[in-house]
Amino acid sequence: MHCMQFDPGMNLPIKLISTDFDGTLFAEFENPPIAPCLQALIGDLQKQGAKWVINTGRDMSSLMEAIARAHISVKPDYLVLVEREIHCHCEAQYVGLDEWNLECHRAHEELFLRVRRDLPRLVSWVNSRFDATVYEDAYSPFCLLAGNNGDADAIHAYMEDYCREVPGLQVVRNDVYARFAHVRYNKGTALAEIARLLGVTPEETFAAGDHLNDLPMLLLEHARYLAAPANAVDSVKQAVRSQNGFVSALPQGHGVAEGLQFHLECGTDLP
């Protein structure tokens, strides 16, 4: 299903805005948790016809609960959930894009059939070496909650080694959390699908993120205008800078607002 309409005549350098949620848009312990300056800027761009995507690793219930607590003044036009499912805002609710989501589900089910036979040895390897939690949820048969980032780095490396044994398998990592997923589905490919549906090009797209799972959308092939807040991990800052993006000295939503404003003012002069 596709219910958003796009005005091809609008004269904006940025027509599609993709923001990560936690650490990029949403600051859990700030009040308000989403910077008012960013809300106002996004709202103004939406009034001019731009579309906004929250591109997150959260699932629907978790994201809706956090958005409700944030009392934000603007609503995203699209959601990318669990780094892969696409939902469109339509008549006061978010409706899944069936063709994309069903194919995404099918691809993951087929892939995870191959993974399940190896789960006992994967879990045993982690449990014998680290104080970590390995569990299964609706989106992956192997999910990780490590005790600290050092342990998460070591387990991540082990998981990536395992992925080389299974064509199509990747590790999605955010801080001390990680899970398996299909390489065809990530924040970048989901953003590209939304852009395709809207008829928006990468040259007209902005993307901002702060952690490892944001790297697939922080690419020029998906978004010409890239930004990262001050709290972004070093690999994200490096990726953004290397592609002529903007790394703010301000944290979270304040940094994203500064990056978005920078690109709106200077974007046409970028190489």
Q: State mean pLDDT over 64-88.
A: 96
> Given this model, what pLDDT does residue 221 score?
98
Pairing type for strands 177-182 and 51-55 reads unpaired
Residue 54 has pLDDT above 60, yes or no: yes
Digit-coded pLDDT (tens) for 199-236: 999 999 999 999 999 999 999 999 999 999 999 999 99
Residue 3 has pLDDT above 90, yes or no: no
> Given this model, what pLDDT does residue 28 score?
87
> Given this model, what pLDDT does residue 9 score?
43
Percent of the chain with pLDDT over 90: 91
With a CB cutoff of 8 Å and minimum separation 6, the contacts of 195 are: 16, 201, 202, 205, 222
Question: Taking Cα atoms as reference points, which of 226, 254, 259, 221 lies closest to residue 241?
Answer: 226
> Given this model, what pLDDT does residue 8 score?
44
Digit-coded pLDDT (tens) for 174-194: 999 999 999 999 999 999 999
Residue 12 has pLDDT above 90, yes or no: no
CA atoms within 13 A on the CB side of 232: 37
Q: Is 28 exposed, middle or buried, given 0-12, 13-18 or 19+ CB atoms closer than 10 A?
A: exposed
Residue 269: pLDDT band with limits 50, 70, 90? low
β partners of residue 22: 26
The mean predicted confidence, pLDDT, of the chain is: 94
> Given this model, what pLDDT does residue 5 score?
44
- How far is the C-alpha of 227 from the C-alpha of 230, rounded, in Å? 10
Instruction: Judge whether 211 and 191 are in contact, CB under 8 Å.
Output: no
- How far is the C-alpha of 25 from the C-alpha of 87, rounded, in Å? 18
Q: State mean pLDDT over 250-264.
A: 96
Q: Please give the model's pTM, rounded to 2 decimal places.
A: 0.92
- How far is the C-alpha of 62 from the C-alpha of 266, rounded, in Å? 36
DSSP 142-198: EEEE-SSHHHHHHHHHHHHHHHTTSTTEEEEEETTEEEEEETT-SHHHHHHHHHHHH
> Given this model, what pLDDT does residue 135 score?
96
> Given this model, what pLDDT does residue 2 score?
41
Digit-coded pLDDT (tens) for 147-183: 999 999 999 999 999 999 999 999 999 999 999 999 9
Residue 267: pLDDT band with limits 50, 70, 90? low
Question: DSSP 3-state assignment of 138?
Answer: coil
DSSP 92-133: TEEEE-HHHHHHHHHHHHHHHHHHHTTHHHHHHHHHTT-S-E
> Given this model, what pLDDT does residue 92 score?
87
